[in-house]
Amino acid sequence: MSDTTAPKAIEGTLGFIDERLGSTTFFRRNVKKVFPDHWSFMLGEIALYSFVILLLTGTFLTLWFQPSMKEVVYDGSYTKLQGVKMSEAYASTLHISFDVRGGLLMRQIHHWAAILFMASILAHMLRVFFTGAYRKPRELNWLIGINMFMIGMLEGLFGYSLPDDLLSGTGLRITQGVLESIPLVGTYGYMFLFGGEFPGQDIIPRLYVLHILLIPGLILGLVTAHMMIMWHQKHTAMPVKNQSEKQVYGYPFYPVFMAKTGAYFLFTFGVTALLGAFAQINPIWLFGPYDPGAISSGSQPDWYMGVLEGALRIMPGWEISAWGHTVSFNVLIPATLPLGIVFGGAMAWPFIEAWITGDKRQHHVNTRPRNAPVRTATGIAAVTFYGLLWLAGANDVLAERFHVSLFATTWFFRVTVILGPIVAFIITKRICLGLQRRDADVIGHGVESGVIMMSPEGGFSERHEAPREEEKIVLLSKENARPEAPARDARGVPAPGAKGPIGHLRSRLSRAWTFDDIPVEEHGHGEHEAIESGSDSQVKH
């Protein structure tokens, strides 16, 4: 505390840079930048740090990997494949695994980091969705995030295909089949991607350059934009004490947040290293080289492609042939519709929500999921839809492990993928409203103190006490539904937002958004009113 000047080495460096860039103003402004604290805010960091791991380990792997489909006869040190014909890509992957020291470790860390990268993006996305952190002004970052996930799917698929083992070759074969099904241009796309017929000689080198150059560059750009926007807009905060739309409360960037995020960086490295050391992933030597006539049961893609796989599996065999042309809905629909619904819907959601609620304000404090029941229920419905398709992608493993009929699992998923989201929506909404009711109860009525009172008349009652201040702030963070603007004003002129069929739809949706809202507010001492109005709406619906 006594010595406030920095050591000479740092002072000198900073001075050197400042004289040339004027950077100290920037540092001065940002060194104490506030970062609100919550464990779920770190999910996105996993993705950032796994991306760093992917770049580092990926660079290591390129030093030995040969992206070539030239056929060679293996004579390396994995005895079971000696004398087998395979592509150079596969042989060099075996070489990395068995003849380069640390090569297997790097391969495994690379693959685990890829799995964590995608998983953490999804987890981060769910956190952002359910807390409403995508709302104005953060729609751009929401869109960037979704695009990163979709590009990440491609990047993962391409990387998974590079070793040219039987499993990845099967994945490519399916990719080819899906590509071929596109009306009008399908066969052209197929020929142009593979440089001729499947598998040809060109696909691995082409995927390689996409995998190590183009797509990582794209992701790097998007990550940078994502971080800069986040930095500029400041992170959202949970609705707790001291947080408001006007101010943010938390730890300064330097030194606390820096140390925390540094620790998390190390944790991410540690966990991927732990998995790489002790959990085997993608043992391509067991899968064998790609061979178009061979196949294994339980051929699955990595988890993030599981949704597509599941959709392909449960789709009935619909195909139309007319006027000399064929359209395979059995491939087209599962390849486009589910992801279109989930990710297209997610991208449009912030704008749809703002349109329905008419809320054009900026939001920096997150919503508790229960306080936006329609949003939360929609999210859970989407998760159910995605999750069921994902499970359907493993239906053969499920059938085998639990000894049920394979066709029965298919039918189960065909039905639940439609019904499941609806049921999930209804249940989730009920749960949210129930929790709202409890919150209203706590605010209006107090917390059960566990103290039983006996009145002079002999009746028993439990004494309720006012909730703690911190808790009250959390509960009162709920924004109660505002009374809807009347569709027509006093003179009978329709309100601007409610004109025409679109406006009509908007006001109906708006009503659906809030009609069963349960106000959580303080009533002074007339606490029973709040409870009563709560139970009123319960009875009504």
Please name the residue that has the structure tokens 């391509």: 284
Q: Are 121 and 76 in contact (CB under 8 A)?
A: no
Q: Which stretch binds another protein (CB under 8 A): 103-111, 208-216, 374-382, 507-515?
A: 103-111
User: In terms of CB distance, is 180 or 522 closer to another protein?
Assistant: 180
Please name the residue that has the structure tokens 């639940």: 416
CB of 530 to another protein, least distance (A): 17
Does residue 22 bind another protein (CB under 8 A)?
no
Which position among 7, 278, 496, 501 is part of the footprint of another protein (CB under 8 A)?
A: 278
Does residue 19 bind another protein (CB under 8 A)?
no
Residue 488 token pair: 């027509």
Which position among 12, 195, 340, 344 is part of the footprint of another protein (CB under 8 A)?
A: 195
Which position among 66, 92, 93, 120 is part of the footprint of another protein (CB under 8 A)?
A: 120
Does residue 127 bind another protein (CB under 8 A)?
no
CB of 527 to another protein, least distance (A): 16
For residue 120, the cross-strand partners are none
Does residue 302 bind another protein (CB under 8 A)?
yes
Distance CA 233, CA 354 (A): 19
Which position among 11, 19, 291, 536 is part of the footprint of another protein (CB under 8 A)?
A: 291
Does residue 357 bind another protein (CB under 8 A)?
no
CB of 234 to another protein, least distance (A): 6
User: In terms of CB distance, is 71 or 529 closer to another protein?
Assistant: 71
Q: What angle separates helix 258-278 from helix 43-62, to the nearest 10 degrees?
A: 50
Q: Are 94 and 299 in contact (CB under 8 A)?
A: no
Please name the residue that has the structure tokens 């050197």: 16
Q: DSSP secondary-structure letter at 254?
A: I
Q: Are 97 and 104 in contact (CB under 8 A)?
A: yes
Amino acid letter, 69: M
What sign does the CA torsion over 281, 286, 291, 296 have? negative
Does residue 277 bind another protein (CB under 8 A)?
yes
Does residue 530 bind another protein (CB under 8 A)?
no
Task: Tell me the residue ranges of DSSP E strands in 94-201.
Answer: none
Distance CA 122, CA 146 (A): 9
**Measured between alpha carbons, how far is residue 33 from residues 1, 235, 248, 293 in Å?**
20, 10, 10, 60
User: In terms of CB distance, is 225 or 495 closer to another protein?
Assistant: 225
Does residue 268 bind another protein (CB under 8 A)?
yes
Classify strands 71-73 and 85-87 as parallel, antiparallel or unpaired.
Answer: antiparallel
Does residue 147 bind another protein (CB under 8 A)?
no
Closest of 142, 223, 513 to residue 358, by C-alpha:
513
Query: Using omega within 30 degrees of 0 as the cis cutoff, is the peptide bond preceding 421 cis?
Result: no
Does residue 230 bind another protein (CB under 8 A)?
no
Q: φ and ψ at 410, to 5 degrees? A: -60, -45
Q: Which stretch binds another protein (CB under 8 A): 76-84, 369-377, 476-484, 508-516?
A: 76-84
Q: Are 433 and 518 in contact (CB under 8 A)?
A: yes
Size of the site for another protein (CB under 8 A): 183
Does residue 55 bind another protein (CB under 8 A)?
no
Does residue 314 bind another protein (CB under 8 A)?
yes
Does residue 99 bind another protein (CB under 8 A)?
yes
Does residue 26 bind another protein (CB under 8 A)?
no
Does residue 324 bind another protein (CB under 8 A)?
yes
Does residue 263 bind another protein (CB under 8 A)?
yes
Footprint of another protein on 165-194 (CB under 8 A): 166-167, 170, 173-174, 176-178, 180-188, 190-194
Which position among 272, 428, 436, 510 is part of the footprint of another protein (CB under 8 A)?
A: 272
User: In terms of CB distance, is 49 or 385 closer to another protein?
Assistant: 49
Footprint of another protein on 400-429 (CB under 8 A): 400, 403-408, 410
Which position among 84, 144, 210, 485 is part of the footprint of another protein (CB under 8 A)?
A: 84
For residue 402, the cross-strand partners are none
Does residue 197 bind another protein (CB under 8 A)?
yes
Footprint of another protein on 34-53 (CB under 8 A): 34, 37-43, 46
User: In terms of CB distance, is 68 or 533 closer to another protein?
Assistant: 68
Cβ-count burial 255-287 (b if 16+ within 10 Å, e if not) = eebeebbeeebeebbebbbebbeeeeebebbeb
Helix, coil or strand: residue 395: helix
Which position among 92, 131, 141, 328 is part of the footprint of another protein (CB under 8 A)?
A: 328
Residue 305 token pair: 């492609």
The distance from CA 109 to its chain's CA centroid, rounded to whole angstroms, is 21
Binding mask 463-482 for another protein (x = CB under 8 A): x-xxxx-xx--x--------
